[in-house]
Amino acid sequence: MHLPRLAAQPHLTYCTNIHAGERWDEVSHSLNAFVPAIRDAVADGGPMGIGLRLSGQAAFSLHEPHVLEAFQAQLKSLNAYVFTLNAFPYGTFHGVPVKQDVYAPDWTHAERVRYTLASIDILAALLPEGVDGSISTVPVGFRGACDAPGAMSTVLSHLVDCVAHMVQIQHQTGKHIALALEPEPSCYLETSQEALQFIQNHVRSPTAVAELSRRLACFQERALQALVDHVGVCFDVCHSAVEFEDPAKALHDLKQAGIAIPKIQLSSAVRIPQMTAGQLPTVQGFDDEVYLHQVVVEQSGVITRYVDLPEALTAFHAGHAQGEWRVHCHVPVFLQEAGAISTTQAQLLQTLEACKREGFSSHLEVETYTWDVLPDALKTDSKAQAIARELLFVKKVLLA
């Protein structure tokens, strides 16, 4: 949905990574199955924006001209449009253990570039006139992604490849697309501040500027501006809350540093205000063995991080990990409480209020991809009803 009354005139959508399917035909089928009911519930008769998740397999299929043309016709029949892509998880994302494989291939690998370039082409073809595009991507990789000698140079060269392509697309079509690195706990870029420093110190470094200048055969001032315009941060509210960030301050810091926020992903995390033995059965219910559920614990101002929920539970049993827990598990945004535990909805509401005041991003995307593995007690609606309910919740807050 387009919300022109707000400062940034944002487009609001949900991310289709909530639907299982790695092949393009599966993705296309899920859109036909879910979008009409959601659109009718939330879009007030207008067209509905879609946040499209594409695996590598789906992206390379959709990149074929005849497949892309068929999808454009499908979007017309759905009264829908695509303005943002999720090109973060390259491989299988549902039904099997994903864990840290979700970050592979990372930005040290050429396959990540091939996938992202295809995604850029697809989004350029799908963007409506006058609408900017965003593509969220892995925050370089899992922790240690740049430990190998020369890894950072490879990452920057790969990012420059993508920026050069986005610049050429804009020159040829007038369509602006930005790549958005998405900080996540236990990754190379865990926090908003780390993403800010990475962009300032590496993406905009003299080395990267010089390389892009050579690629585009332009002055270095123009190359620097291209890096500023086409590489930013995807601010995921769940990830930020897990890291105990103040979301309004994090957004403001990015803005003050001149770093674009092409997309904000709206979601809540699991919160246990004070971990106790009595909470263990409820918390263990979120250990689905599919996704990585990073845990950050705060006690008396000290932050301790655990890569996955079993590690944090083991630490608690050993007498450690006392205090407030934040668990990386996306739960529906309309829940303040989730059964016996809490959520970080307060941080979500702070983010939405900040967006109302200062804009920050023109792309807002609800992302509750964990629906299929959530405890049954949290799934009181059908999936389509829950998605519509999330969007209506966000819309009501934004327009209040």
pLDDT of residue 213: 98
Query: Side chain identity at 368, as an amino acid letter?
Result: T
Return the SS3 of 187: strand
Phi, psi at 299, each rounded to 5°: -145, 120
Query: Side chain identity at 26, as an amino acid letter?
Result: E
pLDDT of residue 247: 98
Query: Side chain identity at 24, as an amino acid letter?
Result: W
Distances (CA, A) of 324 to 242, 243, 284: 10, 12, 16
User: 48-53 and 80-86 as β-strands: parallel, antiparallel, unpaired?
Assistant: parallel
pLDDT of residue 6: 87
Question: How many Å apart are CA 298 and CA 301, to the nearest integer?
Answer: 6
Phi, psi at 263, each rounded to 5°: -150, 140
pLDDT of residue 40: 97
On the 0-12 / 13-18 / 19+ scale of CB atoms within 10 A, 130 is: exposed
On the 0-12 / 13-18 / 19+ scale of CB atoms within 10 A, 47 is: middle
Which sequence spans correspond to the domains of the chain?
11-268+343-399
User: 324-331 and 268-272 as β-strands: parallel, antiparallel, unpaired?
Assistant: antiparallel
Task: Provide the β-strand partners of residue 12.
Answer: 364
Residue 145's contacts (CB-CB under 8 Å, 6 or more residues apart) are 103, 106, 107, 108, 151, 155, 187, 188
C-alpha atoms less than 13 angstroms from C-alpha of 337 in its C-beta half-sphere: 3
Q: Do 269 and 238 form a contact (C-beta atoms < 8 A)?
A: yes
pLDDT of residue 363: 98
Distances (CA, A) of 298 to 147, 235, 245, 289, 326: 28, 22, 12, 24, 8
pLDDT of residue 36: 97
Residue 98's contacts (CB-CB under 8 Å, 6 or more residues apart) are 89, 92, 290, 291, 292
pLDDT of residue 8: 86
Question: How many Å apart are CA 300 and CA 62, to the nearest integer?
Answer: 51
pLDDT of residue 309: 97
Q: Do 142 and 183 form a contact (C-beta atoms < 8 A)?
A: no
Residue 331's contacts (CB-CB under 8 Å, 6 or more residues apart) are 267, 268, 269, 270, 338, 343, 368, 370, 374, 378
Distances (CA, A) of 230 to 169, 203, 343, 381: 11, 11, 33, 39
- Please give the angle made by the CA atoms of 44, 127 and 124, to the nearest 5 degrees: 165
The closest of 329, 310, 400 to 367, measured between CA atoms, is 329
pLDDT of residue 371: 87
Per-residue burial over 204-218, b if 16 or more Cβ lie within 10 Å, else e, is bbeebbebbbebbee
* Homologous superfamily of 11-268+343-399: Divalent-metal-dependent TIM barrel enzymes (3.20.20.150)
Measured in whole angstroms, how far is the alpha carbon of residue 30 from the centre of its chain?
20
Low-confidence ranges of the chain (pLDDT < 70): none
Return the SS3 of 140: coil
